[in-house]
Chain A
Amino acid sequence: MKKFFSLGLVRGLIWQIIGTGIGVGIVILIRILMGLPPWKAEPATVFGALLGVFFFLAGVGAFTDWFKMAKGEEVEEMPDESHLGAMRYFGVSLDHKVIGIQYMVFSIILMSVGGVFALIFRTELAETGMQFLSLIEYNTLMSLHGIVMIVSILVGIAAIMNYTVPLLIGASDMAFPRLNAFSFWVGVPSGLVILSSLFLGGFDTGWTGYPPLSVRAPLGMQMFFLGVAMVGFTSILGSINIIASIIRLRAKGMNPFRMPIFIWAAIATSIISLTATQLIGLSFEMVMFQRLFGMGFFDPVKGGNPILFQHLFWFYSHPAVYVFVLPGLGIISELLPVFVRKPLFGYKWVAMSSLGIAMVGFLVWGHHMFTSGMAEYLRVPFMYSTLLVAIPTGVKFFSWVATLWKGKITFPVPMLFVLASIVVFLLGGLTGPPNATISTDLHLQDTYYIVGHFHDTLFGGFMFPFFAAVYFWFPKMTGRRLNEKLGKLHFWLVTPAFFMLSLWMMRIGLLGMRRRIADYDPALQFQSFHQVMTIAGFIIALGVLVFIINLIWSAKKGEPAPGNIWNSRSPEWQVPSPMPVHNYGRQFEVVGEPYDYGLPGSTYVKFEGE
């Protein structure tokens, strides 16, 4: 029992409850002192939840080293926590590999929660009329599905970047290990705050939270705003770490064009997260203040403007799409040469295309607002900038198929997921331009076509590459490989079902199915489509369940894989698995190109003393 309470996570949760209580108490006290009625739910809950997040961080120990430093005490620079065994995953650890795995598990938990929400409302949609959900419950589940999946994706890319970036650049850890731990741990209480909205009346606005609807929504809305604003710190602080590590900690000889291609994707993603995330936090805080203090930022009666919110919101939330997909595209480019046994075609072009997508991505947010009532002259320039994204994205596709050409292709599970990523992301990409040319978007905006389109981009750009990355690097984490049979079962369940789901979404969207509706007119005759989509949704869930079982089973009983099982040139595969505590323990020097497969006698890295 004592051991249980010594876990950082448990301590943090207890502290969070205490902190929330104290926050509620403070608000009541202030109201009594001001002579107001003591209880008002909204300010009390918001302040309580905010304080709860900080108390969690204090309880888990994310501040401990910083407090010690402030007092002038010594802190251990690179503590060896390996004697803690599995326990170190439940508390603050400074090891980027531990944090990477913490992120990964957290991401998979959120993915499962968000997926269950989807299954519930998909079941409701299988028939017209309302069967077992109320309208507000439907809207809440639909909104939470969106935001929980988005947080899961942000956490998922943090998982991959945290685990692999220091390994790929030959560093012993991230540039700022304590900040790294803080970035992870701030996500946990924030995630709980978001989920708590389920029990505080829910919210019926979708994940976009547009005012004035979000100003009138139930109390759960505030928990959503607060949770998202706080979880933003994970992205902002995490990306500082990635950028600093890549600039400062690269191995000798690793000039920019000899970095593994995934590093370019990580840099591009981090630039966006570092500079744009603030805007979504800001826009959400402004609505929070409008609700709490009556500040009329978006209230036309008080001189505010509802469209302003949409500009602020999409200024982050569109580039965020590239935050979600660039690491995934990086994984495709990183893994493809290993399984094709050929160099990545046009390395420099692929690297630059990541930066190109990131830069153009900042200038396109208005395409979410073609029907919004923003100034009409803004529509055409946003169409031009949006279409430009197609060019660097096209470069990636052409480079991938050119990499496949004349290779010696093998098909282990990670490669299967890489190939599925390419095709699914291709569908997502090709269905994009009709949303960019304004007049066609006037039909498509706010329909299931959009829903299908972005599920394609996010599955192709994140979900499938994430699976590929986990199958690929799992032996590095555990020393054992994931079961191939279960992996293939996972693949063959998820992929065809997903095609069915997203193609049918787009099909009924074109025919007039609006998005975010709890019920649809039987006269439209969409019921059979919805039934197929619901079945497909459950098959995808079954596939993910197989994946989770595989992770748990293989971590203990999987086939041992201590060596370079993929025959990769990358440095992390030149040392035994699982990765030693402080990574390489000795320096290596980059002496060749990263992907010179097929060039006899060449190596990418040379270790000290070899």
Chain B
Amino acid sequence: MKHYIIVAILVVICTVLVYAGLNSIGLLPVQASAQAVSIDNLFQIHIGLISFLFSLIVVILVYSLIVFRRKKGETGDGAHIEGNTALEITWTLIPLLIVIFLAYVGAYSLGEVRRIDMTALQVKVTAGQWYWQFQYPEYGITSTELYLPVDRQVDFQMSSTDVIHSFWVPEFRVKQDIVPGQVTELRITPTMLGDFKVQCAELCGASHAYMEGLVRVVAPDDFVNWIAGQQANVVVDPVLQGQQLVQQYGCITCHSLDGSTKIGPTWKGLYESTVKVDDGTTLTADDIYLKSSILEPNLYVVEGFPSNVMPSFSKILDQTQVESIVAFIESLK
């Protein structure tokens, strides 16, 4: 009996210590969305359960190792206990009840997270290798930075131009994959002003690590101002438009503008220069070559660079856009 009492006391002490310890070190990033509240509450339940079950098993284990170890000079075996059906039923049924409880709170929490507000702000998200693009259909603008008004639900309708990506802002907690060929939905209500980062959470190729975008949560007034500014900012100069496009579509993730080598060849001084492609021939990087390299990248791969890395943009960019990008590359001569 003495053993059981000591173990029970130790389990309680250990549970309290583990629980307090885990909560004191700051396990999660700041809570910046309404959805995060419900998720963090569920995390709290999990942390409690983990603290208790960890303490229960580890305390009994360590206690046995110390108290029931073979002492010096001792021979013979331990107590001949084959089992105890009542105990087995208990430790099957109690976990079953815990599981049912978790299943209930888990489903409830999902319901909270997925609660739909009909007045939500619409944002269309396009993800591609390796860029984020945000469209505000109500205002007719497109941006590479995600501006969101605080305390209003945002309905993200997300699609991908190439492979699977995943939209994740750790401070908002929720995450959703973006799958080519379908539109996936995510709803977030930001509750905290500030700058965050949207990161691609699903491995999407070489530059996956760098597929990040700025998320700025602003007061409703500032949001209206930003929208107005964007709407006024219509670009006509092809070089400037090209500059915007290469940011939007993430071209510059792989192609540097300063002569350094990234995943693809640099654009600095590329226009009208001589390039050697991997079948051994040399070409001049004129308008036709540059356009074909955007539309059919694997036709001529520059020597020393891998093929099949750059996606084709033939279905993504229209004629004018391609010309603007070429104009921008020309400006880097």
Contact = CB atoms under 8 A, between A and B. Distances in A.
B53 A430 contact: yes
A58 interface: no
B81 interface: yes
Interface string B176-192: 11111110100000000
Given A395-B88, A408-B70, A598-B80, A440 B64 contact: no
Contact of A423 (B58, B83, B98): B58
Contact of B91 (A394, A407, A519): A394
Nearest to B80: A598
A145 interface: no
Nearest to B197: A521
Interface stretch (B135-143, B144-152, B203-211, B325-333): B203-211
Contacts of A517: 208-209
A212 B164 contact: yes
A451 interface: no
B126 interface: no
A76 B79 CA distance: 50
B28 A510 contact: yes
Contacts of B107: 380, 383, 438
B166 A446 contact: yes
A398 B84 CA distance: 12
Contacts of A204: 203, 205-206
A251 interface: no
B28 A511 contact: yes
A449 B29 CA distance: 13
Given A372-B179, A373-B177, A391-B95, A213 B203 contact: yes
Given A306-B179, A380-B107, A430 B184 contact: no
A440 B46 contact: yes
B251 interface: no
A357 to B, nearest CB: 13
A31 interface: no
A562 interface: no
Interface size class of A (residues with CB under 8 A): 35 or more
B119 interface: no
Nearest to B200: A514
Contacts of A436: 102, 106
Contact of B46 (A371, A437, A507, A511): A437
A411 interface: yes
Interface stretch (B37-45, B225-233, B234-242, B268-276): B37-45
B29 A511 contact: yes
Interface string A255-297: 0000000000000000000000000000000000000000000
B37 to A, nearest CB: 11
B306 interface: yes
A136 interface: yes
Contacts of A519: 209-210
A419 B63 CA distance: 13
- Mostly, the B contact residues are mixed
Given A373-B176, A406-B81, A440-B39, A346 B106 contact: no
Interface in A384-425: 384, 387-388, 390-391, 394-395, 397-402, 404-411, 419, 422-423
A290 to B, nearest CB: 14
Contacts of A402: 81, 83-84, 87
Given A306-B180, A423-B58, A433-B102, A345 B83 contact: yes
Contact of A398 (B64, B91, B200, B263): B91
B203 A205 contact: yes
A408 B61 contact: no
B317 interface: no
B299 interface: no
A116 B57 CA distance: 34
* Max chain B C-beta neighbours (<10 A), residue from A212, A217, A434, A443: A443
A390 B79 contact: no
B224 interface: no
B170 interface: yes
A447 interface: yes
B42 A300 contact: no
A307 interface: yes
A423 B61 contact: yes
A445 interface: yes
Contact of B78 (A398, A407, A434, A438): A407
Contacts of A507: 25, 27
A443 B60 CA distance: 33
B180 A135 contact: no
A586 B149 CA distance: 81
A401 B258 CA distance: 63
Contacts of B171: 512
B70 to A, nearest CB: 5
A433 B207 CA distance: 32
Contacts, number: 282
Contact of B103 (A307, A342, A387, A434): A387
B69 to A, nearest CB: 5
A329 interface: no
Given A406-B81, A514-B201, A437 B109 contact: yes
Contacts of A135: 206-207, 209, 263
Interface in B300-333: 306-309, 311
A438 B166 contact: no
A82 interface: no
B53 to A, nearest CB: 6
Given A379-B110, A443-B175, A520-B209, A217 B308 contact: yes
Given A212-B162, A384-B103, A347 B83 contact: yes
A419 B78 CA distance: 18
A447 B29 CA distance: 13
Contacts of B205: 139, 204, 213, 216-217
Nearest to B47: A434
Contacts of A431: 50
B61 A341 contact: no
Contacts of A397: 57
A143 to B, nearest CB: 9
B109 A439 contact: yes
A88 to B, nearest CB: 39
Contacts of B208: 139, 516-518
A305 interface: yes
A337 B173 CA distance: 45
A342 B79 contact: yes
Contact of A430 (B29, B54, B204): B54
B243 interface: no
A598 B79 contact: yes
B2 to A, nearest CB: 13
A434 B50 CA distance: 10
A442 B39 contact: yes
A29 B210 CA distance: 44
A510 B27 contact: yes
Nearest to B307: A218
Contact of A434 (B46, B83, B95, B164): B46
B311 A216 contact: yes
Nearest to B109: A439
Nearest to A439: B109
Given A135-B209, A407-B78, A439 B197 contact: no
B174 interface: yes
24 contacts: A135-B207, A213-B204, A300-B180, A343-B82, A346-B82, A371-B166, A371-B201, A380-B110, A383-B103, A387-B103, A391-B92, A391-B96, A406-B64, A407-B68, A409-B70, A409-B78, A422-B61, A427-B54, A430-B50, A438-B109, A439-B42, A443-B175, A514-B168, A519-B210
Given A380-B107, A383-B103, A423-B58, 10 more contacts: A300-B182, A340-B68, A348-B83, A390-B99, A391-B92, A391-B99, A394-B95, A408-B78, A433-B49, A443-B39
Interface of A: 135-136, 139, 201, 204-206, 208, 210, 212-213, 216-218, 300-301, 305-307, 340-343, 345-349, 371-373, 376, 379-380, 383-384, 387-388, 390-391, 394-395, 397-402, 404-411, 419, 422-423, 426-427, 430-431, 433-434, 436-440, 442-443, 445-447, 507, 510-512, 514-521, 593, 596-599
